[in-house]
Amino acid sequence: MRLFDTAQKQYIDFTPTGVASIYTCGITPYDSAHLGHILTFMTYDLLQRRLEDTGLEVRLVRNITDVDEPIYKKAAELGVDYRDLAAQETELFQKVLRQLNLRPAYAEPKASEYIGEMAAAVKTLVDNNYGYKLDEDIYFDTTKLASFGSFSGFSDRLLHNFMAVRGGDPMRLGKRSPLDFLLWRGISDLNDPAAWDSVIGRGRPGWHIECTVMAEANLGTPFDLHGGGDDLIFPHHECEIAQSIGLGQAQMARHWMHIAPLLYAGEKMSKSLGNLVFAKDLLTTYEPAVIRLALMRYHYRTGGEWQPEFLDHADELWTRLQIAGSICSPVSAQSLLNELQIALDDDLDTHRIIHALEEFAAHNDGPIRDCDVFSQAMRLLGLIA
What pLDDT shows up at residue 250?
86
Nearby residues of 364 by Cβ (< 8 Å), 6 or more positions away? 324, 327, 328, 329, 332
Q: CA 217 to CA 89: how far, in whole Å?
A: 24
Stated as kind and residue range, the H or E segment containing 87 is: helix 82-99
* Residue count of the chain: 385
Nearby residues of 32 by Cβ (< 8 Å), 6 or more positions away? 89, 92, 93, 96, 276, 278, 279, 280
- pTM recorded for the entire structure: 0.95
Beta bridge partners, 196, equal: 203
What pLDDT shows up at residue 121?
99
pLDDT tens-place values along the chain, 385 residues long: 999 999 999 999 999 999 999 999 999 999 888 999 999 999 999 999 999 999 999 999 999 999 999 999 999 999 999 999 999 999 999 999 999 999 999 999 999 999 999 999 999 999 999 999 999 999 999 999 999 999 999 999 999 999 999 989 999 999 999 999 999 999 999 999 999 999 999 999 999 999 999 999 999 999 999 999 999 999 999 999 999 999 999 899 999 999 999 998 888 887 777 778 999 999 999 999 999 999 999 999 999 999 999 999 999 999 999 988 888 877 889 999 999 999 999 999 999 999 999 999 998 766 656 688 999 999 999 999 9
Handedness of CA 154, 160, 162, 167 (dihedral sign): positive
- C-alpha closest to that of 344 among 290, 296, 311: 296
Q: CA 322 to CA 357: how far, in whole Å?
A: 11
Phi, psi of 268 (to 5 degrees): -60, 135
What pLDDT shows up at residue 102?
98
What pLDDT shows up at residue 149?
97
Stated as kind and residue range, the H or E segment containing 118 is: helix 115-127
What pLDDT shows up at residue 326?
83
Cα radius of gyration rounded to whole Å, the chain: 22
Distinct helix (H) and strand (E) counts, the chain:
13, 13
How many other CB atoms are found less than 10 A from the CB of residue 328? 26
Q: CA 33 to CA 107: how far, in whole Å?
A: 19
What pLDDT shows up at residue 273?
73
What pLDDT shows up at residue 300?
98
The CATH number assigned to the domain with range 2-268 reads 3.40.50.620
What pLDDT shows up at residue 325?
86
Task: Give 43-53 pLDDT, tens digit per residue.
Answer: 999 999 999 99
What pLDDT shows up at residue 367?
61
Task: Tell me if 344 sits within 8 A of 254, measured CB to CB.
Answer: no
Task: Give 191-205 pLDDT, tens digit per residue.
Answer: 999 999 999 999 999
What pLDDT shows up at residue 370?
64
Q: Residue 230: helix, strand or coil by DSSP?
A: helix
- How many Å separate Cα 350 from the centre of its chain? 18
Domain ranges of the chain: 2-268, 292-380
